[in-house]
Amino acid sequence: QKEVEQNSGPLSVPEGAIASLNCTYSDRGSQSFFWYRQYSGKSPELIMSIYSNGDKEDGRFTAQLNKASQYVSLLIRDSQPSDSATYLCAVNMQGNTPLVFGKGTRLSVIA
Amino acid sequence: DTGVSQDPRHKITKRGQNVTFRCDPISEHNRLYWYRQTLGQGPEFLTYFQNEAQLEKSRLLSDRFSAERPKGSFSTLEIQRTEQGDSAMYLCASSSRTGLNSPLHFGNGTRLTVT
């Protein structure tokens, strides 16, 4: 069973704080990892991709990957109320299979 | 780049009716995916095409569901004899690469309500 696990939240952080979102996956051979943001009633929007161990930064977002621990995370610095959304972790598992999504973590940034 | 386009945005139908949804991918993308999403869940894979070939179907996809991509451009997803459990957001996505590093770009989705 190929699974992607996320804490459903809600995760509440004050405006300006760092939000930390976590994701674990079951397939040790997974190669590609993506974070999507989804506002209520809207479709998922790609915000970050990461393919190798370590950190990848893009503006206020940092993705972190640890393949040995089968763990990927997303940090959002200087959180804004407009960051309030559900964040979906998605993984390309072995065998070039379609992306497997987690259930998402709902983030609420309090002004 | 006009993005992935889905039609209709909303569909309300009565149980037992057939419905068909259309997806137009980003023009140069050769892979097209259908996912389904219900409240509080992540998108769930249904099927995907590379050009006109349907390469994989989820075991969750019952025989009431059929998808086509006849000329390798737009795709249709048909649900026959709809059931209340089919109520969901149906998401179409496309990607330009066939390798593992292939992010998906989603359309706005079609929200289906079966009454």
The answer to whether A103 contacts B109, with C-beta atoms less than 8 Å apart, is no
Residues on chain A touching B101 (C-beta within 8 angstroms): 31-32, 49, 51, 92
Q: Which residue has the higher pLDDT, B59 or A108?
A: A108
Sheet holding A61-66, edge to edge: A4-5, A19-25, A71-76, A61-66, A54-58
Regions in chain A scoring below 70 on pLDDT? 95-96
> What pLDDT score was predicted for residue B71?
87
The shortest C-alpha distance from B105 to chain A (Å) reads 7
Residues on chain A touching B41 (C-beta within 8 angstroms): 103-104
Question: pLDDT per residue over B13-32, tens digit each?
Answer: 999 999 999 999 998 889 99
Predicted confidence band of residue B96 (pLDDT cuts 50, 70, 90) = confident
B48, B50, B100: which to substitute to probe chain A, counting the most A Cβ within 10 Å?
A: B100
**Residues forming a β-bridge with B84:** none
CA atoms within 13 A on the CB side of A37: 13
> What pLDDT score was predicted for residue B78?
97
